Structure 1
Amino acid sequence: MAVQEGDDDPFEEQRERVDDSMQRLFRRYGSENAFEYAVAIVASVLARLLDLVPPVMLGVAIDAIFTDSRAFGLGPVPAEWLPATQEGQFALTVAIIAGSFALGAVFHWLRNWGWNASSQNITHDVRVDAYNQMQRLGMDFFSDKQTGELMSILSNDVNQLERFLNDGLNSASRLIVMVIGVSLVLFTYNWQLALVALVPVPLIALFTYGFISIIRPKYKTMRATVGALNSRLENNLGGIQVIKSSNTERYEDDRVDDASMEYFDANWDAIWTRIKFFPSLQAISGFGFALTFVVGGYWVFAGAPGPLTGELTLGTFVVFIQLSQQLTWPMAQFGQVINMYQRAEASSARVFGLMDEHGALADDDELPDLAVEGGRVEYDDVTFGYDEEPIVEGVSFTVEPGETAALVGPTGAGKSTVLKLLLRMYDVDEGEIRIDGQDVRDVSLRSLRQSIGYVGQDTFLFYGTVRENIAYGTFIADDEEIVEAAKAAEAHEFIRDLPEGYDTMVGERGVKLSGGQRQRISIARAVLKDPEILVLDEATSDVDTETEMLIQRSLDELTEDRTTFAIAHRLSTIKDAERIVVLEDGRIVEHGGHDELLENGGLYAHLWGVQAGEIDELPEEFIERAAKRQARTEAGND
């Protein structure tokens, strides 16, 4: 069953906030492409008007040259300027027709250049602006959005805009010029038969109004389902190793089939509406042409029918038949233009909904840069949460310059969140975080993050070479500096043994390297950055003991004389830290040195006992609390 409007669309709320999205598109981006639009519009008008010249000249030639039913004339051109002989008139007619085709080709080229250039410029700017805005949103925005959904906006929705801005506006310009131009010519020749030829116009307008009201919600639903399908495909491709190792190919086949079928149903619903509408439109246009042929033809050989009066020459009749044919196709295309507009409107609402998303962290360029003198970091009564549910609450501690502070605690205690607040992945709800006395919210975001190096457990490598990944973020580094950073991270030896050395492609997300190799490249990246403050988020969690030893040796050198924060589940890796902060349920429950915390017999001592295999000696209260925490974690993941 097709998804109903708003169902499974994570951007429904954003989209509903957007008013007049297409007008906003032209207001915001149209002025920047005024020259291209001017060329396109002027060239479209002239090209379409030149398209009217051959049938008009054919009518003149039939009446004046072939049937001699009236004098040869070209409207306002004085008769004495025109040839007097039949041969001369024929030659002039041929020259005018040939010239109109040649000049028309030039204007058609300019028309196509103008529409294509403007549409490409606008869609490029829209895509880049949408990405820039998305990239600056806080991490809470991404917590309930999937990559495929965002890709659907940046790719599919922007491409829908491009199709309308190019093909749609191009067709619309042709429609307008042809309808107005043909109508003026027809009324100039014979206003009575012109009224007959234009009978389909009000019927087409009525049909189109009904089509718009029916198709608009269908396109909104379709945009939602294509985003859901992209998310499903992106998730499955990213988790292909888990799918294979879990032998769940058939299960995922069914899930992709379901997502694809929802898109199929929504898309087919819109298609079914279109394929009923367009033939009806063509039938109405064809009826107008047939009516013109019947009335005009009878008028030529039998005289004015019914209430019509006057004479209709053969040449005039031919002009009407020729121009009626040129009018029929643009009117039939009118439905296609409206169709493209409706699809573009649904897509533009999603694009601007993303652009209007609130939650971007304040990054005022006027703010001063962070000045790190020693690297003293203070958390002062910091509270933060999602949707009014606190994740960390009342957190206060100080790390002196050059110290290493380790954050430990059970899963879900808030350790990573505490450090993400330092990096301003989120902003605190209450309290302050200061570096050398400067509130992190009062300095430029660029300088803050430039002063902090981050090494995480889920090391992300970009598709590219080893060299490019080490230099990421420090793009001006030379080869010698990159190699020195790799040596400091114990990575140079294995990089040298790779097929292309530092120029080896790492594959998507670094899939060609082991977990330990990826983490050492991440450490090399941090070494190259040479930050004043270092954040280590379980940097040795997914490696074997030997690799951990190598990485730990790299980290010992990297953390020397730097203010360092470390998160670790393996407590043996942080037991030498000058300050250990123990978190539980978002609050600090104890802090101190390793030996001191063991003597206290609190949560840290119990966690140490778990890792030392002393489970039988743990108090029952600790085990019960651990079970409750695990239950809460599983419930939150459901």
Structure 2
Amino acid sequence: MNHEKASNFKGTFRRMLDRLLVDRLLCYTVAGFAVLATAMSVIGPRILGHATDIVFTGYLSDQFPEGMTKQQVIDSLERSGDDRVADLIRSTDLHPGAGIDFTALGWVLTGAIALYVVASLLMWTQGRLTTVVVQRMVAGLRDEVEEKVNRLPLKYLDTHERGELMSRTTNDIDNIAQSLQQTISQMISSLLMVVGTLSMMLWISPLLALIALVTLPLAIVLTRQITQRSQPQFVGQWAATGKVNGHIEEVFTGHQVVKVFGQQATAREEFDRRNDALFGAAFKAQFISGVIQPVMMFMSNLNYVAVAVVGALRVASGSLSIGEVQAFIQYSRQFTQPLAQLAGMINLLQSGMASAERVFQLLDEEEERPDRADAPFPDPLRGRVEFSDVTFSYSDSPLIEHLDLVAEPGETIAIVGPTGAGKTTLTNLVLRFYDLQGGRITLDGVDVADMSRGELRENFGVVLQDTWLFKGTIRDNIAYGAHRASDEEVQRAAEAAHVDHFVRTLPDGYDTVIDEEGQGVSAGQRQLLTIARAFLADPAILVLDEATSSVDTRTEALVQQAMEQLRSGRTSFVIAHRLSTIRDADHIVVMEDGRIVEQGNHESLVHGGGAYERLYAAQFAGATT
């Protein structure tokens, strides 16, 4: 990932904020509670300062005889040379001989306690509402990502690691939720606290407020410099996380192959390399951003010392009361503490925005061209498929060039050829998994590029060499393309695919639960289940891509009989390496280097002296040696 895009912290944060503000009423409610809670928290030190003044004034009042006035006490002290004490008393509400007014003190403390209790309740409510806002936004983001993945072209999924994609859809979104949950509410409160405490500080003493603000510009500059250096590191951290996840997903999926070929050490070395890269990026990100809070705390302590010294001098001169200085020191702490918290939250926020950038990059990826609103579709569907001057390539190197092919309704077209000849690509093009670079493919005379992808694919039944099952019962796996199918229909499809007997030998029969890797089911049995799925879907057009490659010879013969029945009256494309499975095909197409080099039926091609005969001879020779 380049760091230019990662440096767009403001743009990403603004984009995330727009998503949060979808629940405007709830956001305004959160802000309202934050304002009330902060206002009460700001008033608290002033009330406590008043309590201190009551105690201090009462103590001083008790030191002088009853009947004297405040001015008499001050005059007496000045005549005796105690000018400092006189100045101190001048700023108090002295009542000689009265002592401490515990009633007034009680009311003040009760008011302070009530204020803090209400402020705590408001803050708790604010936190709860913030959780609702954030989790709603994250849930919506997950929905968008899920929908986006379904709209991405197959090319994107083929060119990106699945583990990396999964990391963006899980780890990054979880990190967004965590960082926003811990920062949004606190940021609002901290910003309001800064404004509130600054106002109170200016009210108590503009001079002390000026002293407290001296170090603020320097703190802001340092924080900005640190932030600019740490943001790219957070992006690198989450990019490295995606690479580690991609490697783990790859190794775990192919763990049998890794062990068979003794590549555990190699896999471990690759993991260590990616893990070390993740460690380095994470360490730099956390270390650089972690410097912010100590810097802010150092500035806060400098302010504290300066305010304490100057405040003491102001009390001694009678310009301020002890309670006012006490309140100001509390405000000074309340002023620098949220600044330090904001600085510390930048760490989390940067991490969250780095993850948000990765998620937004996924959401901004180019999608499949949308279907036309008035997409045509042949009705009734006969199943005539025609390739006209088709040209296609996955990269700059051409794969298929100027290919022409016609499949008449009900015909079985077998496509054979060496690996990489473009056989599977043809079926991917018919299903619109990829768009053509040239030419056109028509279904009953209608260009498939103009059709709705969903409606087009609903009429195709596809059985791939790579079987795919999901975690669920065998019944659910067979009925994947026909959710309303009855138990009898599922059973008939299983019988047609010769999988019924095997299923009935399982303890729970069709209710047996299998996972996505088909644990407890052999590779051949998994393929039979996918064939049964195609039987149940009852499609108009069949695509069989090495559909019997994992079954034994006896089962293959039985499946071939079922396939003949299934193909009856349907246009079928059969991609096969076992030439024995396509003897009865109506039309056999031999492909090499993306071109059709031979066409015909089995009898004409096997004695034609061309590519098909060579393939047949090589396969036969391989079978008898």
Scaled by the length of structure 1, the TM-score of the pair is: 0.87
Instruction: Give the equivalent residue in structure 1 for 2:456.
Output: 448
Distance (Å, rounded) in 2 between the aligned partners of 1:342 and 1:111: 23
Partner SS state of residue 511, structure 1: coil
Amino acid in structure 1 at the alignment position of 2:543: V
| Aligned partner letter, 1:331 | L
- Measure how far apart 1:421 and its partner are: 0.4
Aligned partner of 1:20 among 8, 11, 17: 11
Instruction: Measure how far apart 1:248 and its partner are.
Output: 2.0
1:106 to 121, 133, 139: 121
- One-letter code aligned to 2:619: Q
**Maintained 8 Å contact 1:363/1:444:** yes
CA contact (8 A) 1:392 1:414 kept: yes
Identify the residue that residue 235 of structure 1 maps to in structure 2: 250
Aligned mates of 1:217, 1:211 — CA distance in 2: 11
- The one of 367, 384, 395 equivalent to 1:376 is 384
Residue type matched to 2:418 in 1? P
* Cα distance in 2 for residues equivalent to 1:316 and 1:563: 91
Question: Offset of 1:388 from its aligned partner?
Answer: 3.1
Where does structure 2 lack aligned partners over 5 or more consecutive residues? Answer: 62-69, 71-99
Q: Does structure 2 retain, via aligned residues, the 8 Å contact 1:609–1:615? A: no
**C-alpha displacement at 1:481, in angstroms?**
2.4
Q: Which residue pairs with 1:624 in the alignment? A: none
Contact 1:43 1:107 in 2 (8 A): yes
The equivalent of 2:415 in structure 1 is 407
SS at match of 2:393: strand
The question of 1:471 aligning with 2:462 is answered no
* Pairing of 1:397-436 with structure 2 (within 5 A): 397-436=405-444
Q: Which residue of 1 aligns with 2:230?
A: 215
The 2-side partners of 1:229 and 1:259 are apart by: 6
| Residues 192 and 202 of structure 1, relative CA distance in 2, 3 Å threshold | same
- Superposed CA deviations along residues 171-219 of structure 1, whole A, max 9, x for unmatched, are 2112211100111111111121122233332222111111122112212
1:244 paired with 2:234, answer no
Give the drift of 1:370.
5.5
3-state SS of paired residue (1:612): helix
> Counterpart amino acid of 2:256?
Q
Single out whichever of 427-436 and 163-172 deviates more from structure 2: 163-172
**Map 1:289-300 → 2, pairs under 5 A:** 289-300=304-315
2:503 pairs with 1:495: yes
Deviation of residue 228 (structure 1)?
A: 1.1
Give the superposition deviation at 1:451: 0.6
- Find the counterpart in structure 2 of residue 283 from structure 1: 298
1:78-116 Cα distance to aligned partner (Å, 9 max, x none): xxxxxxx95653443234223323322331122112221
| 1:59 aligned onto 2:74 | no
Tell me the amino acid that sits aligned with residue 461 of structure 1: L
CA–CA distance in structure 1, aligned partners of residues 7 and 336 of structure 2: 38
Q: Does 1:164 align with 2:179?
A: yes
CA offsets 1:46-74 (integer angstroms, 9 cap, x no match): 11222223322111222246525999xxx
The answer for the alignment partner of 2:275 in structure 1 is 260
Q: Give the deviation of 1:531 after TM superposition.
A: 0.9
Alpha-carbon spacing, 1:13–1:195, altered in 2? closer, same or farther (3 Å): closer
Match of 2:614 in 1: 606
**CA apart distance, 1:19:** 8.8
User: RMSD of the TM alignment (CA)?
Assistant: 2.5
Change (3 A) 1:589 1:333: same
Residues 504 and 338 of structure 1: is their aligned pair in 2 closer, same or farther, counting only changes over 3 Å?
same
Q: Shift in Å at residue 368 of structure 1? A: 4.1
- Tell which deviates more after alignment, 122-131 or 584-593: 122-131
- Unaligned 5+ runs, structure 1: 7-11, 72-84, 304-309, 617-638
Determine whether 1:44 maps to 2:28: no
Equivalent position SS for 1:161: helix
Q: 519-528 vs 563-572, which deviates more?
A: 519-528
Q: How far is the alpha carbon of 1:32 from its aligned partner?
A: 2.1
Judged with a 3 Å threshold, the aligned counterparts in structure 2 of structure 1 residues 419 and 17 are, in CA distance, closer, same or farther, namely farther
CA contact (8 A) 1:372 1:435 kept: no
Bigger shift: residues 99-108 or 597-606: 99-108
Task: Give the equivalent residue in structure 1 for 2:190.
Answer: 175
Equivalent residue number for residue 269 of structure 1: 284
**Residue identity opposite 1:98 in structure 2:** I
Query: Which of the numbers 555, 563, 568 marks the counterpart of 2:571?
Result: 563
- Please say if 1:96 is aligned against 2:104: no
Question: Cα–Cα, structure 1 residues 297 and 549, in superposed 2: closer, same or farther, change >3 Å?
Answer: farther
Deviation at 1:378, TM superposition (A): 1.1
Counterpart residue number, 2:516: 508
* CA distance in 2 between partners of 1:278 and 1:201 (Å): 14
Change beyond 3 A, Cα 1:208–1:247:
same
Q: Aligned letter for 1:293? A: A
1:372, distance to aligned residue in structure 2 (A): 4.6
Q: 1:551 aligns with which of 549, 559, 584?
A: 559
Query: What residue is the counterpart of 1:634 in the other structure?
Result: none
Q: 1:207 to 1:612 in 2, by over 3 A?
A: same
In the TM superposition, residue 314 of structure 1 has moved relative to its aligned partner by: 1.1
Among all aligned residue pairs of Structure 1 and Structure 2, give the percentage whose two residues are the same amino acid: 37
Which letter maps to 1:25?
M
Residue pair 2:172, 2:358 contacting (<8 A) in 1 also? yes
For 1:262-411, list aligned pairs within 5 A. 262-300=277-315, 302-303=316-317, 311-369=319-377, 371-411=379-419
C-alpha distance 278-13 of structure 1, shift in aligned 2 (>3 A): closer
Is the 8 Å Cα contact of residues 534 and 563 (structure 1) preserved in structure 2?
yes
1:13–1:65 Cα change, 3 Å: closer
In 2, Cα distance between equivalents of 1:409 and 1:181: 77
Q: Retained in 2: the 8 A contact 1:137–1:360?
A: yes
- The answer as to 2:529 corresponding to 1:521 is yes
Aligned partner letter, 1:161:
I
Given that 1:40 and 1:113 are in contact with CA atoms closer than 8 Å, whether structure 2 keeps it comes out as no
1:231 Cα deviation after fit: 0.8
Contact 1:471 1:482 in 2 (8 A): yes
For each residue in 1:469-510, what CA deviation from the matched residue of structure 2 results, as whole angstroms up to 9, or x when unmatched? 112232232333222222222111111212322222212322
Question: CA 1:576–1:15 in structure 2 vs 1: closer, same or farther (change >3 Å)?
Answer: farther
103-112 vs 512-521, which moves further: 103-112
- Aligned 1:25-36 pairs, distance under 5 A: 25-27=16-18, 29-36=19-26
Determine if contact 1:15/1:353 at 8 Å carries over to the other structure: no
Q: CA offset at residue 14 of structure 1? A: 8.6
Give the aligned partner of residue 88 of structure 2: none
Relative to structure 1, the CA distance from residue 181 to residue 469 in structure 2 (aligned partners, 3 Å threshold; closer, same or farther) is same
1:371-410 CA deviation, whole Å, 9 max, x = no partner? Answer: 4521111111111112332211111111111111111111
The correspondence for 1:194, drawn from 204, 209, 213, is 209
Cα drift, residue 455 of structure 1: 0.2
Structure 2 CA distance for aligned equivalents of residues 287 and 152 of structure 1 = 44
